[in-house]
A = this chain, B = another copy of it.
């Protein structure tokens, strides 16, 4: 209430525009969700045209001179865009997005949509056939388009900056490099220490757990976490993801793997973390310029927190392992709670990021970041990617993918033009531990609550310190407010050392 003492007519115009763009953005999201969850193969071509139609309409509505004038007038009206009122921040966000979007000529946007639609199909085929050459020409086009995009924002400190900024507002490549430079040696050191130890057994996970029961468990766990089913649903998709069609409809997907019982449960927790963030943005930001999240790293801090800090914790399994053991006596009857906990936290270099344990996960991201920077700087050619990928995998994780499907083709992102996205995964990991530490400092009872299956203090704290702000604050600003520090690697390193020190007796 106090945020809205009076709304000027121009401010109201901005809010009306944001409401309409939110509607259109959510329509675009539905087109994408349906494409991944339901669409028969025959619908692909027209769906691409439908998505392009919405993209074009949104672009036209938002990048008109009238909108530019409106924003200019509002900047003058409000003055300090860093004032902590909803109005100032709404204008700041609108101005930022407007300035970015008006730089992009419509033909470039349409070319981007066309190329990525084709690239997605090519990537799927290339991955299925493990044949990089099918994807290569389209990835070359995408890299070229991304370079053209970055050039629109000259002068920049680094060619990768404009891409990173799309996902992590205000973040610079130099900052990310600095963080990763601190992280890498410590994480490598930890992995070396772990490699010298006998790994815990996790063969009990490599079984075919009944899928209906897996689904029941996933639904039960995230219901306890606080996922609101009245405003969401769970479906199957090849790649787990979260998407929203408004505050009242935030959906998640998962998939069940035949030989990895943990995968679906942890990914369901992960997506529920994303979804509870979206469900937690307050109603006052519905169809509003601040309706979104602070950034992808902040989003990832929420998903990784529920997946790892909660879901892979000793306390969670102290609460939940008896139920799991009851449901799967054939696999778990002779596995103690401690052995189970050690097993699900086994550190093992893996080919695929999404299946990586906490200790190796960031290595995948650092590898990817170096490659993306190389592609953008022009020091890496797309044609050399399969080889470079494998060399780096060997350097960082000591393993070489047996084929490109499990190598450079593993992730969907590049086919969608998403270069600049990966660092946010690692930044989210770091942020998750910073938030966790601060929350526990204020609520030392949380581990005991988790052990009793209670999660409302956690969700309440996140609602208060993260969710309630929508996209009002930039990510680093929000982290400062919530934890007293920007994103920094030390807490994460400390967390890994403590956790794996105990599990591996380091």
Q: Chain A residues in contact with chain B, CB under 8 A?
A: 19-20, 23-24, 26-27, 30-31, 34, 38-47, 49-50, 53-54, 57, 228-233, 235, 245-249, 286-287
* Distance of A387 from chain B, by nearest CB (Å): 37
Which B residues lie within 8 Å of A27 (CB)?
27, 31, 50, 53-54
Our pick among B23, B44, B54 for the contact of A49 (Cβ within 8 Å) is B23
Our pick among B20, B23, B41, B53 for the contact of A230 (Cβ within 8 Å) is B41
* Distance of A211 from chain B, by nearest CB (Å): 15
Q: Give me 24 A-to-B residue pairs in the complex whose CB atoms sit less than 8 angstroms apart, sorted by A's number.
A: A19-B49, A24-B50, A27-B31, A27-B54, A34-B34, A38-B233, A38-B235, A40-B229, A40-B230, A40-B231, A40-B248, A42-B232, A43-B245, A43-B248, A43-B249, A46-B245, A46-B246, A46-B248, A46-B287, A47-B245, A47-B246, A47-B249, A49-B287, A50-B246
Which B residues lie within 8 Å of A230 (CB)?
40-42
Our pick among B39, B53, B246 for the contact of A23 (Cβ within 8 Å) is B53
B287/A50 in contact, CB under 8 A: no
Q: 14 more A-B contacts (CB under 8 A) besides A41-B230, A49-B287?
A: A26-B46, A30-B30, A30-B34, A38-B233, A38-B235, A40-B229, A42-B232, A42-B248, A43-B245, A43-B246, A43-B249, A46-B249, A47-B249, A50-B245
A50/B26 in contact, CB under 8 A: yes
Our pick among B24, B34, B45 for the contact of A53 (Cβ within 8 Å) is B24
Our pick among B43, B45, B248 for the contact of A45 (Cβ within 8 Å) is B248
Which B residues lie within 8 Å of A248 (CB)?
40, 42-46
Our pick among B30, B46, B229 for the contact of A31 (Cβ within 8 Å) is B30
Task: A50 to B24: give the CA distance in the assembly, Å.
Answer: 7
Which B residues lie within 8 Å of A23 (CB)?
46, 49-50, 53
* Distance of A245 from chain B, by nearest CB (Å): 6
Which B residues lie within 8 Å of A40 (CB)?
229-233, 248-249
Which B residues lie within 8 Å of A44 (CB)?
248
Task: A38 to B47: give the CA distance in the assembly, Å.
Answer: 19
Interface of chain A, helix or strand or loop or mixed? helix
Least CB separation from A286: chain B residue: B46
Task: A43 to B286: give the CA distance in the assembly, Å.
Answer: 12
Which B residues lie within 8 Å of A232 (CB)?
40, 42
Task: A30 to B28: give the CA distance in the assembly, Å.
Answer: 11
Which B residues lie within 8 Å of A43 (CB)?
231, 245-246, 248-249
Which B residues lie within 8 Å of A20 (CB)?
53
* Distance of A237 from chain B, by nearest CB (Å): 13
Task: A23 to B231: give the CA distance in the assembly, Å.
Answer: 28
Given A31-B30, A46-B23, verify A39-B249 contact (CB < 8 Å): yes
Which B residues lie within 8 Å of A229 (CB)?
40
Least CB separation from A229: chain B residue: B40
Task: A379 to B41: give the CA distance in the assembly, Å.
Answer: 51
* Distance of A278 from chain B, by nearest CB (Å): 12
Which B residues lie within 8 Å of A57 (CB)?
57
Task: A20 to B31: give the CA distance in the assembly, Å.
Answer: 16
Given A34-B34, A49-B287, A53-B27, verify A42-B245 contact (CB < 8 Å): no
The 10 closest A-B pairs by CB, nearest first: A43-B249, A46-B246, A42-B248, A42-B231, A23-B53, A43-B248, A42-B230, A23-B50, A27-B50, A23-B49
Task: A285 to B40: give the CA distance in the assembly, Å.
Answer: 20
Which B residues lie within 8 Å of A26 (CB)?
46, 50
Least CB separation from A245: chain B residue: B43
Which B residues lie within 8 Å of A249 (CB)?
39-40, 42-43, 46-47
Task: A247 to B45: give the CA distance in the assembly, Å.
Answer: 10
